[in-house]
Amino acid sequence: MLSLYKRCIHVLQNNIDVIHEVGGVPFDVLEPVLECCTPKQLSRIEDYNPTFIKLADHLWKRHCQREFKNEQRQDDESWREMYFRLFDQREQKLKTLTKNIILSQSEKPKGHLVEMAYVQGVAKPPRELRGHPERCGSSTIPLNKLSKRKLANEERNDSESDSVAAANTSASGESQQDAKRVKKIAPVTAKSLKTFKNQAGPWQSRF
């Protein structure tokens, strides 16, 4: 079971951003909390509590060794001063690099605009293929001529279809008329046939 002190330290570690002036709380009491601070958080707490600046120098040593491993302190320079000096240098280098990148991008020539040819017309084939369009499967016939030619072919096909239909209708009509002619018998012939049947009737009855 955690003691009251450890519970308080745990709560403070989870709420470092709300710590400001601590009053007369000793540094060694809050040291476990300050060990969890980022450089920005530690610097802010030191601004509210200036007495912590000299006492927390070993904490700045950790930050220097973590972020600036290959750097050395200058004469009579504290770890806190070393950290801020190297931090400012890094920020200045970053600003200079960003400025150079923006400047180099602005000096680059603008990209060429791509223009589309033959938007409203027919694209012309290469000069060496104009006399022999069949080599590459191309054709130099304009689109409007192709459309007219297609329309003429369709009209020709329609007229031929109408002629065939008319011919079929005429043939069927003639065949029906021929059938009627075959069935129709002349009046004289019909009378002769009737007379013949009446005369042959008795003879047919004998058999």
Instruction: Look at residue 82 and tell me if it is in a domain.
Output: yes
Instruction: Look at residue 35 and tell me if it is in a domain.
Output: yes
Instruction: Look at residue 207 and tell me if it is in a domain.
Output: no
Q: What type of residue sits at position 155?
A: E
Instruction: Look at residue 22 and tell me if it is in a domain.
Output: yes
Instruction: Look at residue 51 and tell me if it is in a domain.
Output: yes
The predicted-structure confidence for 150-184, as pLDDT tens digits, reads as follows 666 666 666 666 665 655 655 555 555 555 554 55
Q: Which residues contact 64 (CB under 8 A, 6 or more apart)?
A: 71, 79, 82, 83, 86
Number of neighbouring beta carbons within 10 Å of residue 30:
19
Interatomic CA distance for residues 57 and 83, integer angstroms? 10
Q: How many structural domains compose the chain?
A: 1
Instruction: Look at residue 77 and tell me if it is in a domain.
Output: yes
Q: pTM for this structure?
A: 0.50
The predicted-structure confidence for 53-88, as pLDDT tens digits, reads as follows 999 999 999 999 999 999 999 989 999 999 999 999
Instruction: Look at residue 148 and tell me if it is in a domain.
Output: no
Instruction: Look at residue 32 and tell me if it is in a domain.
Output: yes
* Domain, as residue range, for 88: 4-93
